[in-house]
Amino acid sequence: MVALKEGYDLASEVLRLKVERKAVILAHNYQVPEIQDVADFVGDSLGLSYRAKESDADVIVFCGVHFMAETAKIVNPGRKVILPDLEAGCSLADSCPADHLADFLNRHRDRNYYVIAYINCSAGVKALSDIICTSGNAVKVVQAAPKDRNILFVPDQNLGSWVMEQTGRKMDLWRGACYVHVEFTQNSIQRIREVYPDAPVVAHPECTYAVRLLADEVCSTEKMVSYCRNSPANSFIIATESGMLHRLKKELPDKEFIPGPTENCACADCRFMKRNTLEKLRDALETLQPEITMPESIRKQAELPILRMLELK
Ligand code: 13P
Ligand code: SF4
C-alpha cells in the first residue's frame, strides 16, 4: 500500500517537474514500467532517434542507456540532454572502443571499408563510421550501401550476420555481442516452446544464430509490437529484455506474453537499462543533471552518419 502511494506521488512529481522544466521524457522499451508510464514517448532506438531529432523541448530526459542519450545530444546540440544514471552503459557499445576501431581501420586501409555502425556504440565510433543503423532499419541501410565497397559492420556480430542472411550482402563483422541476448540458448527456448507449443517465438536480432533459427519472427523491439498486434496468435514467447513485456501488455492487453527464459533465469534483464529508476528520473528533472556532453569536434563528425540514416527513405 505504502509503496503504491509513494509510486503515485513520485510519478505526479515527475510530471509536474517535466512541465516546469519544459522537458520531454523519452524512454526505451526496456525501461522499468514506472518510467514507461510517465514517458511522452516509449519506443525502440530508431523511433527514439526520430523523436529526439524532432523535439522542440528545452530539455530531453533520456531514459535509456548512455549511447542513446548521446545520440539525442549529437542531433540536438543546443538542448540539454540528461540521463537519469550516467552509469547506464551497454556491454555491446563497450565491445568496440573507438581507439580499437581507429587502429583496425588504419591497419586495413587496403580494404577501403564502408563502415556501418549499429547505433549501440559510442560517439567516438559513430564519428569513424559512414552510416549508422538500428535493428529497425539495418536491412535497409545495408541494401543502400555502395556496391563497390567492402562493408565493415560494427559492433554486433549477431545483428550483422542476421542482416547478411536477409540481404545476401557479405560483410566483415566486428566480434561484439550483447551480454543479455546471448543468454538465450537453443535449449532454453526449446524448453519454453514445449510448454507453449502454439506461441510464436519473437526474438531480437542480437540473439545468436541458434536462437534466431527457432524464432518465428526476428525483429527490433518496435516491430515486436506490430508483429504481435497483426498476428492471429494469442500468446507469444518474447526473446528479448524483460522491459519489453510491459510495453506489449499495455498495448495488447488481450494477448499473453511469455518471457523467453535463459539457461539460468526465467527472463532476461539488462543491468544497464535497469539502473534508471523513477527516483533518479525525478532527481534528474529537479537538478537537470547528469548532463550528456562531448567535444564539439566528435559531435560534428558523429552527426553526419546519423543524419544519413535518418534521411534514408
Ligand atoms: P531496439 O533498437 O530494437 O530497441 O534495440 C536496442 C537494444 O539495445 C537492444 O538490446
Ligand atoms: Fe546494450 Fe544489450 Fe543492454 Fe541493449 S540489452 S542496452 S545491447 S547491454
Dump pLDDT digits (tens) for 68-85: 999 999 999 999 999 999
Tell me, what's the pLDDT at 181?
Answer: 98
- The burial class, CB within 10 Å (0-12 / 13-18 / 19+), for 256 is middle
CA distance 72 to 178: 21
> In the beta sheet, which residues pair with residue 185?
none
Residue 29 near residue 44 (C-beta atoms within 8 A)? yes
At 104-162, the pLDDT tens digits run: 999 999 999 999 999 999 999 999 999 999 999 999 999 999 999 999 999 999 999 99
Atom of ligand 2 nearest to the CA of 64: 6
CA distance 11 to 217: 35
Q: What is the DSSP string of 167-222?
A: H----EE--B--TTGGG--HHHHHHHHHHSTTSPEEE-TTS-HHHHHH-SEE--HH
pTM score? 0.95
Compute the mean pLDDT over every residue in the chain, rounded to the nearest whole number: 96
Ligand with minimal distance to 183 CA: 2
Ligand with minimal distance to 92 CA: 2
CA distance 304 to 127: 8
CA distance 49 to 60: 12
Among protein residues, the one whose CA lies closest to atom 6 of ligand 2: 90
Atom of ligand 1 nearest to the CA of 223: 3
239 within ligand 2 shell (Cβ under 6 A): no
CA distance 133 to 115: 11
CA distance 17 to 11: 10
273 within ligand 2 shell (Cβ under 6 A): yes
74 C-alpha vs ligand 2 centroid, how far in Å? 20
Tell me, what's the pLDDT at 49?
Answer: 87
Helix boundaries (H) for the chain: 2-20, 33-38, 45-54, 66-75, 91-94, 98-107, 123-127, 138-143, 157-167, 186-195, 209-214, 221-230, 244-251, 278-287, 296-311
Q: What is the chain's pLDDT, residue by residue, as a tens digit (313 residues)?
A: 334 455 559 999 999 999 999 999 999 999 999 999 999 999 999 899 889 889 899 999 999 999 999 999 999 999 999 999 999 999 999 999 999 999 999 999 999 999 999 999 999 999 999 999 999 999 999 999 999 999 999 999 999 999 999 999 999 999 999 999 999 999 999 999 999 999 999 999 999 999 999 999 999 999 999 999 999 999 999 999 999 999 999 999 999 999 999 999 999 999 999 999 999 999 999 999 999 999 999 999 999 999 999 999 7
Give the three cell numbers for residue 114: 564502408
91 within ligand 2 shell (Cβ under 6 A): yes
Tell me, what's the pLDDT at 2?
Answer: 39
